């Protein structure tokens, strides 16, 4: 009788462990199912980042062609000075 109780207790314990493992495996399966979605999001972000890099290089090139305020005011003074000499 005691042996039957031990076997039944073991079966119940094993059943409980199996349920626990199954729930953990379900959780892992659910998380791995999300990996393709995450990969798509990362790929989209990489594409967006490439566009931002291209735009940034364009802006850098445009800024190199611009004159800052100090340079402009110095050039303006030189032009005024040259114009006054010509008159």
Average pLDDT over the chain, rounded to whole? 90
Question: What is the 3 state secondary structure string of the chain?
Answer: CHHHHHHHHHHHHHHHHHHHHHHHHHHHHHHHHCHHHHHHHHHHHHHHHHHHHHHHHHHHHHHHHCCCHHHHHHHHHHHHHHHHHHC
- Residue 63: its pLDDT value, please? 87
Confidence of residue 25 (pLDDT cuts 50, 70, 90): very high
- Domain locations in the chain? 1-33, 37-87
- Residue 35: its pLDDT value, please? 92
Kindly report, residue by residue over 47-80, the tens digit of the pLDDT: 999 999 999 999 999 988 888 888 889 999 999 9
- Report yes or no on whether pTM surpasses 0.85: no
């Amino acid at each position: 009788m005691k042996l039957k109780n031990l076997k039944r207790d073991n079966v119940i314990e094993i059943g409980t462990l199996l349920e626990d493992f199954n729930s953990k495996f379900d959780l892992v399966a659910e998380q791995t199912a999300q990996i393709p979605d995450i990969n798509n999001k990362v790929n989209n972000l990489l594409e967006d980042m490439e566009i931002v890099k291209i735009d940034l290089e364009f802006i850098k090139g445009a800024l190199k062609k611009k004159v800052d305020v100090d340079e402009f005011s110095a050039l303006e003074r030189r032009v005024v000075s040259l114009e006054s000499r010509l008159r």
